Chain A
């Protein structure tokens, strides 16, 4: 078995990697310790309520975690928003791309310097190429000076079929990971017949190396890397 596939299987078997599988459920549930989350959590016992942006799919756990601490949380699923087929355009060279200007006019529309913390999770790895830099640029704008952005990047060893996970905060250092399933859409056609369409699974778009990551966050004041054994690099960027 190729090394990348071995790592992928180890991720689900939960051995000495950074993730552990919960054996008591049939659903695939993994937990992982997050050094980046430990750093971010140091901000949470704050006198003033923090303003937090969660860019993953809706997570009741994350909303509960932060609201119980008295903080305000905003939730926005950027990956789902980016899969809107009406964003598809053709660039000057005739290549298919996404309309990043229109995307940013409809998403991430917040005042400047609004957030203390942004959870990007694995968004840059799975987002369409044409949206990555514009989205990071917008996140820089909406973060307060000194605000934190946490993002996860796969390493090359993760392999091209690395599943897209949703991260749910369990404690100040632990995340539970659920694979994101395609959303089933049920539509009624013009004749009244019911059609069920299954959306596509999100696929890993690219693997960033350290230089790519540094370039992506070059407008930020500092970035810190945390490398874990489950082939994920955590990056904490300070605005």
Chain B
């Protein structure tokens, strides 16, 4: 995957190391190292192939191509590409995992609020 243009994403490049809380109201592409927490409610996070993230994540969509260690809440969708190494629990509506991805943790598929849930209705 090509590195996106900086006008489409906020970009954390390969040589950048960040420790702390990251919050934002735009999409974020991480190809460096981040440790802490990442809050992007309503926006998307991509961990690039060189990205190493050790953080809890809260975003709309999460795509992992590198390494992500931490619990993930993706309100819409989470994707683990074939080069992904994801360790932690994933709570999302939809999860896509490519062959070759490594995942260790719990998967919790959360239906969109308001949609009929047969189990909850009983």
Q: Do A and B come together as binding partners? A: yes
Which of B103, B108, B109, B122 meets A58, CB within 8 Å? B103
Q: Given A47-B119, A47-B122, A49-B119, A75–B105 Cβ distance below 8 Å?
A: yes
B107 within 8 A of A: yes
Which of B95, B99, B104, B119 meets A63, CB within 8 Å? B95
B103 partner residues in chain A, CB cutoff 8 A = 58, 75
Output the least CB separation between A65 and chain B (Å).
11
B106 partner residues in chain A, CB cutoff 8 A = 72-74
B97 partner residues in chain A, CB cutoff 8 A = 58, 60, 63
B109 partner residues in chain A, CB cutoff 8 A = 67-68
A60 partner residues in chain B, CB cutoff 8 A = 95-99, 101
Within 8 A of A (CB), among B65-122: 80, 95-99, 101-109, 118-119, 122
Q: Which residues of B contact A (CB under 8 A)?
A: 80, 95-99, 101-109, 118-119, 122
Q: Are A67 and B107 within 8 A (Cβ)? A: yes
Lowest 8 CB-CB distances: which A-B pairs, in order?
Answer: A60-B97, A67-B109, A58-B103, A74-B106, A76-B104, A70-B119, A73-B107, A63-B107
20 residue pairs of the A-B complex, CB under 8 angstroms, read: A49-B119, A57-B102, A58-B80, A58-B97, A58-B103, A60-B96, A60-B97, A60-B99, A63-B97, A67-B95, A67-B107, A67-B109, A70-B118, A72-B107, A72-B108, A73-B107, A74-B107, A75-B103, A76-B104, A77-B104
Binding site secondary structure of chain B: strand
A64 partner residues in chain B, CB cutoff 8 A = 95
B80 partner residues in chain A, CB cutoff 8 A = 58
A73 partner residues in chain B, CB cutoff 8 A = 106-107
Within 8 A of B (CB), among A65-99: 67-68, 70, 72-77, 80
Output the least CB separation between B74 and chain A (Å).
14
Q: Are B102 and A80 within 8 A (Cβ)? A: yes
How many residue pairs at the A-B interface have CB separations less than 8 Å?
Answer: 42
Q: Are A75 and B104 within 8 A (Cβ)? A: yes
| Cα separation A190 to B97 with both chains bound (whole Å) | 32
A68 partner residues in chain B, CB cutoff 8 A = 109
Output the least CB separation between A90 and chain B (Å).
28
Interface string of A94-130 (1 = CB under 8 A from B): 0000000000000000000000000000000000000
| Cα separation A76 to B92 with both chains bound (whole Å) | 19
Interface string of A141-154 (1 = CB under 8 A from B): 00000000000000
With A47-B119, A75-B107, A80-B102 given, name 18 new contacts (CB 8 A).
Answer: A47-B122, A57-B102, A58-B80, A58-B103, A60-B96, A60-B98, A60-B101, A63-B95, A63-B97, A64-B95, A67-B95, A67-B107, A67-B109, A70-B119, A72-B107, A72-B108, A73-B106, A77-B102
Most buried by B among A49, A58, A73, A74: A58
Output the least CB separation between B94 and chain A (Å).
10
Output the least CB separation between B33 and chain A (Å).
15
Q: Closest chain B residue to A53 by CB distance?
A: B106
| Cα separation A102 to B49 with both chains bound (whole Å) | 30
Q: Closest chain B residue to A60 by CB distance?
A: B97
Q: Are A58 and B119 within 8 A (Cβ)? A: no
